[in-house]
Structure 1
Amino acid sequence: MLKWLDIIKFATNGNPIPDRRLEKTEEEWKTLLTDEQFRITRLKGTERAFSSDLCSYFEPGRYACICCGTELFDADTKFESGTGWPSFTQPIKENAVAYHKEGSFGMVRIEALCNTCDAHLGHVFQDGPMPSGLRYCMNAVSLKKMDVRERKIDFGGGCFWCTEAIFQRLKGVLKVENGFSGGKIANPTYREVCSGGTGHAEVVEVTYNPDEISFEDLLRVHLSTHNPTTLNQHGADQGSQYRSIIFYRNENEKQAATKIIDEVQKSYPDKVVTQLEMFEHFYKADDYHQDYYNNNPDEGYCRAIIDPKLEKFMEQCKDKLKQE
C-alpha cells in the first residue's frame, strides 16, 4: 500500500516503470478527445467541482484513463471526500500513476498523471482516510468507468499450499495466488515470514466472479476447511504466520464476514478466533510456492496433508466444484 512518503519519493527520485507507454502528438490527441477532455488531460485543466455524477457513484468496477484506457483505480478504493471530485485512496497498481511536483496557484502540489500516456488526472493529497492517508483527487473527465465483475478476497488459514489447492477447485474462482499480508515490512521473504518476526500471515488472494460464487460462500468454505478455533496454529504449524484471518476491503465485507463467523460458530464447540483486519497489501510469494499442489502432487506434504483435506472438501462441496 502506497503512503505519502512513497508519493514524495516517486515525485522526487523518479516514477515506477509503466507496463507500457503511449505517445501521440497534440493533433492526434485532439482527434481522439472532446474539447473538454483535451483541456483537462493534455492542457492540465481542472473541471468544475460537483460537475460529475462520478462523485457519488460507488458501484463495483474500475476506472481507466480516458486517453489510453489504462486501468487506474478500483471502485473498492473510492470514497466520498466531499470535495466535488472523485476521490480514491490507492491506484490499482503501484506503477499505474506517475507523480510530478508542480507549483501552480502559488503552492507546491503533487500532480497525478497516467503513467502510460502522461494524461493529467488531478492531484494527490495526504488528507485521505486511513490506512493509506492518501486522497487521489481526480478529474472525472479524465476517467472512464469500466464494469468489471471480478472481485478479490484475501485470507489465511495455516499453510497457503493447502488453502490454494482448495480454492483452485471452486466454481467461480478465476485465480488463486499465495503470499503474505498483515505484517510490518514491505516485500517480506518466505524465510522472514516463517520466522514469525514480520507479523505477516500466510494468505491466499482469490480472484472470483461474484455472479458464480458469493463472498459469503467463499468465507463459509474458508472457515470450514481449516480449524478456526486454534490461535496461531494449524495442525503441526505454529506461529502467528499461520493464524486464521480474513482481510476485508470495505465496511460491507467486514459486516458480512462478522455475520458468517457468527453463523459458523454454531458448528464449533470452541470459540472461533478468526481475525478480521482491513486489507492493506498483498505480497506475492516466490514462483516456487505458486500452484504448489498441482505441481508437486507426489511430494510427501501433499500426500500426507493436502490429499486428505482435499478429499474431504470435494466430498462435502460437490455442488461448488468446477467441472473437470
Structure 2
Amino acid sequence: MLRWLDIIKFANNGTPAPDKRVEKTPEEWKALLTEEQFKITRLKGTERAFSSELCSYFAPGRYVCVCCDTALFDAEEKFESGTGWPSFTQPIKENAVAYHKDRSLGMQRIEARCNTCDAHLGHVFQDGPMPSGLRYCINALSLKKVAVSEKKIDFGGGCFWCTEAIFQRLRGVIKVESGYSGGTVINPTYREVCSGTTGHAEIVEITYKPEEISFEDLLKIHLSTHNPTTVDRQGADSGSQYRSIIFYRNEEEKQTAMRVIDEAQKSYSDMIVTQLQMFEHFYKAENYHQDYYNQNQEAGYCQAVINPKLSKFRDLYHDKLKQ
C-alpha cells in the first residue's frame, strides 16, 4: 500500500516503469478526445468542482484512463471526500500513476498522471482516510468507468503458502495473492506478523469470476481444506497469524458466510472457530511469498505439508479444477 512518503519518493526519483507506453501527437489526441477531455488530460486543465456525478457514484467497477484505457483505480478504493472531485485512496497498481512536482499557481503540489500516456489526472494529497492517508483528487473527465464481473474474497487458514497453492488450481479463479489483514500495523512485514504483535492473519486474496465459481463455493472449499476447529493453529504452525478467518465486504457476504459455516459444522465434531471480520485492507506479502509452491515444489515444506493437502483437495474437488 502506498503512503505519502512513497509518493514523495516517486516524485523525487521517478515512478516505477509502466507496463507499456502509449504516445501520440497532439493532433492524434484531439481526434480521440472531446474538447473538454483534451483540455483536462493534455493541457493540464481542472474541471469545475461538483460538475460530475462520478463524485457520488460508488458502484463496483474500474476506472481507466480516458486517453489510453489503462486501468488506474478500483471502485473499492473510492470514497466521498466532499471536495467536488472523484477521490481515491490508492491506484490499482503501484506503476499505474506517475507523480510529478507541480509548482504552478504558487503552490507546492504533487501532480498525478497516467503512467502509460502522461495524461494529466489531478493531484495527490495527504489528507485522505487511513490506513494510507492519501487522497487522489482526480478530474472525472480524465476517467472512464468500466464494469467488471470479477470479484475478490479474502480469508486465512494457516500458512498462506498452502492456501495459495489450493486456490490457484480452481476453475474461475483469476489470481491469488498472499498477504496480511486483520491487524493494527500498516504495511506489516513477514517478520512483524510472525512475532504475533501486529494482530494480522496470514491470508490470501482471491480474484475470481462469479459466473464460473461462486462466493459460497469458495467458502465451502476453504472450510474443507484446512482445520477450522483449532484456535490459532494449523498443524505444526501456531500463533494468531495462523487463525481461521473470513473477511466479508458487505452484509450479504456476512450472512452467506454464517450459513456456510453452519452447514460445514455438520462435518466436524469440534466447534468451528473461524472468525468473521469486516474487510478493511489487504497488505500484499513480500515477493518471495508469492506463487511459493509453484516456485519451490522440491522444498521440504512443500513436499511434507502442501503436497498432502493438494492431494486431498484434488480428490474432493476434481470437478472444479482448471484443465
> Is this a same-fold pair by TM over 0.5?
yes
> What are the within-5 Å matches in structure 2 for residues 123-202 of structure 1?
123-180=123-180, 184=185, 188=189, 201-202=201-202
- Say if 2:180 and 2:282, in contact at 8 Å, map to a contact too: no
- Say if 1:4 and 1:134, in contact at 8 Å, map to a contact too: yes
Please identify, of 269-278 and 72-81, the stretch whose mean Cα deviation from structure 2 is larger.
269-278
> What are the within-5 Å matches in structure 2 for residues 198-209 of structure 1?
201-209=201-209
For 1:291 and 1:211, locate their aligned partners in 2 and report how far apart those are by CA, in whole Å. Answer: 28
Alpha-carbon shift at residue 275 of structure 1 (Å): 6.1
Structure 1-normalised TM-score? 0.82
For 2:12 and 2:304, locate their aligned partners in 1 and report how far apart those are by CA, in whole Å. Answer: 52
- Say if 1:247 and 1:279, in contact at 8 Å, map to a contact too: no
Task: Say if 2:88 is the partner of 1:91.
Answer: no
For 1:69 and 1:102, locate their aligned partners in 2 and report how far apart those are by CA, in whole Å. Answer: 25
Match of 1:274 in 2: 275
Aligned-pair identity (%): 67
Structure 2-normalised TM-score? 0.82
Code of the aligned partner of 2:281: F
Alpha-carbon shift at residue 41 of structure 1 (Å): 0.5
Match of 2:261 in 1: 264
For 1:136 and 1:169, locate their aligned partners in 2 and report how far apart those are by CA, in whole Å. Answer: 36
For 1:78 and 1:194, locate their aligned partners in 2 and report how far apart those are by CA, in whole Å. Answer: 31
Structure 1: give runs of 5+ residues left out of the alignment. Answer: none
For 1:105 and 1:258, locate their aligned partners in 2 and report how far apart those are by CA, in whole Å. Answer: 51
- Say if 1:181 and 1:283, in contact at 8 Å, map to a contact too: no
Match of 1:290 in 2: 291
- Say if 1:188 and 1:198, in contact at 8 Å, map to a contact too: no
Match of 1:29 in 2: 29
For 2:322 and 2:104, locate their aligned partners in 1 and report how far apart those are by CA, in whole Å. Answer: 58
Code of the aligned partner of 2:113: L
* Number of matched pairs: 317
Q: Deviations over 1:280-308 (max 9, x none)?
A: 42125427x62626973x87655654455
Task: Say if 2:7 is the partner of 1:3.
Answer: no
Please identify, of 265-274 and 144-153, the stretch whose mean Cα deviation from structure 2 is larger.
265-274
Alpha-carbon shift at residue 81 of structure 1 (Å): 2.2
Task: Say if 2:241 is the partner of 1:221.
Answer: no
What is the alpha-carbon root mean square deviation over aligned residues? 3.2
Structure 2: give runs of 5+ residues left out of the alignment. Answer: none
For 1:96 and 1:294, locate their aligned partners in 2 and report how far apart those are by CA, in whole Å. Answer: 27
- Say if 2:233 and 2:242, in contact at 8 Å, map to a contact too: yes
1:111 alignment partner, SS class = strand
